[in-house]
Every structure is written in C-alpha cells, then in structure tokens.
Amino acid sequence: MLQLAKQIHLYHDLMRQMIEKTFEAFSNLPYAFTLNLSYEDITNIDSRKFLKDKLSKLSTPQE
C-alpha cells in the first residue's frame, strides 16, 4: 500500500495524516509514543518541517 501511495504521489500526505492522528490520539494520555520514520520521511523538507511543528506544540512532561 505504501508503494502505491508513493507511485501516485500521496505518500507524504498519508504520512502527515498518520502523524497528525498519532499526536491527536496521545494528546490527552500520559504515555510516551514513538514514530517509525523512513529515510524518505526524514529527508523530505516538508515532512521534516511538519514534524518539527507538531513537536514544538507538545507540552514538556512533568517529572
């Protein structure tokens, strides 16, 4: 499915939606989460900016 998304140029939109939904799902939970990013995700400037923006909006966990 990811290969098809890449072929029809929807991969980055799909990744943004996945990141958005993950942040939403964990926004009110006291749990940490991880995202598995590909080399393509990390090297894509728009994806990197989007992820940095999402991370900047996170509150700092209390110790």
Domain that holds residue 26: 2-56
Residue 44 counted as domain residue: yes
Please say whether the beta carbons of 48 and 42 come within 8 A: yes
Residue 14 counted as domain residue: yes
Residue 50 counted as domain residue: yes
Residue 9 counted as domain residue: yes
Residue 33 counted as domain residue: yes
pLDDT of residue 27: 86
Confidence bin at 59 (pLDDT 50/70/90): confident
Percent of the chain residues topping a pLDDT of 70: 79
DSSP assigned state of 60: P
> What average pLDDT is seen over the chain?
84
How many domains does the chain contain in total? Answer: 1
Residue 61 counted as domain residue: no
Tell me the per-residue pLDDT of 8-34, one tens digit each, with 9 for 90 and over.
668 888 889 999 999 999 988 888 889
Q: For the whole prediction, is pTM greater than 0.85?
A: no
Residue 63 counted as domain residue: no
